[in-house]
Copies of this chain bind each other. A is one copy, B any other.
């Protein structure tokens, strides 16, 4: 039997997993700093819960099977539908309900670079309130996550489902054309103005309609100018006007909270048409990262109610951590990360002293990044050093018989090469005082 992983799945080796876990910890800290609480839902759900939520294309990607008891079950496809199921099962829930969930989801997509069949989603959702504050909060969480992940350049593009709806209505574009038109508009940053006009014309739009929609790409300037420009294009549509007013309120709240938030009204952003009912947003990194939106979401006021028999507005944001990690790894390269600060060598005849010194160090060094390894056998010292070096461990401690009798040890700093003999009592202090390797 050949040991192998399934196509589209992958292991994260320790160094990769460290980087990933560090990221997830930061994301979680941001979610919690806004008062979001963790929720766990199972990996498996009744298929019935998931069906009819993701469209035909999405449903084909479900890992769906009969369990040993003959139940029709499926691995979760996202974290939003299980959330809807949870809300539906808890009818006495109070609003606002803020929850986050960081967990894998499974989709049997065709594997390709940076896309896997198992990947993590990091979702934060504010449920039960439809307000500009709730919308703005998701944008602020987005900014907070990007800052925590030290992404210095990014842009959050926001739009409102009602704006596009209103604009298309005002242009006399009928319901059957809405989805294909929005798909074309979503490409505004990716194709030339001419190809966009061509694609719109191919959908049967008249040249007046094409002129107006193509002009979405010309809207520039500060918030006020962009919103005004958008409003002019959709002149006469109450729906579009209300959407622009809402975006104005959201932008004012975002600005009051984070004056430098790189957020921008982008009237052609469409994303997830079937799903969203209000604001939508996407987060873009500079082109060199070669990925699309890394964090996105929006308001969805109808989904939760469908499983709860009452109206439940909601707004949320989701980070694709695997996509982001793969972008960062390919643009910046990996680095050796370790949890271990110090390794204590084991030498024949002095096993007990080595174990004692390692245990004491573990007590005395502060938590977090200060792991202490005892080399678990009396290999040649060169082999032990070699191991420490490859693992990126900063300090090595040797407890010789002679030193142990005087409660002393030899401490070697792998960064500087310096080696000193110190008393066991001052060992931890010496290590804390040195620069981390």
Question: Which residues of B have CB within 8 Å of A4?
Answer: 46, 49, 85, 89
Dominant secondary structure of chain A at its interface with chain B: mixed
CB distance from A83 to the nearest CB of B (A): 10
By the criterion CB–CB under 8 Å, are A118 and B3 in contact?
A: no
Find chain B residues with CB under 8 A from A351 CB: 132-133, 253
Q: Does A11 contact B (CB under 8 A)?
A: yes
Q: How large is the interface on A (under 10, 10 to 19, 20 to 34, 35 or more residues)?
A: 35 or more
For A65, give its contact among B32, B65, B339, B358 (CB under 8 Å): B65
Nearest-Cβ distance from residue A239 to partner chain B, whole angstroms: 22
- Residues of B near A35 (CB, < 8 A) are 338-340, 343, 371-373
Question: In the complex where A44-B6, A133-B351 touch, is A373 in contact with B12 (Cβ < 8 A)?
Answer: no
Does A382 have its Cβ within 8 Å of any Cβ on chain B? Answer: no
A359 touches B256 (CB 8 A): yes
| Cα distance A11–B83 in the bound complex, in angstroms | 10
**Segment at the interface with B among A16-24, A160-168, A218-226:** A16-24
Copies of this protein, total: 2
Whose C-beta in chain B lies nearest to the C-beta of A249? B351
CB-CB under 8 A from A144, the residues of chain B are 362
Task: Give every chain B residue within 8 A of A29 (Cβ-Cβ).
Answer: 367-368
A→B interface (CB under 8 Å): 1, 3-7, 9-15, 17-18, 20-21, 29, 32-46, 48-49, 60-61, 63, 65-69, 71, 73, 75, 84-86, 88-90, 94, 96, 98-99, 104, 106, 108, 118, 126, 129, 131-134, 136-137, 140, 144, 252-253, 256-258, 307-308, 338-340, 343, 346, 351-353, 355-356, 358-359, 362, 367-368, 370-377, 387, 390
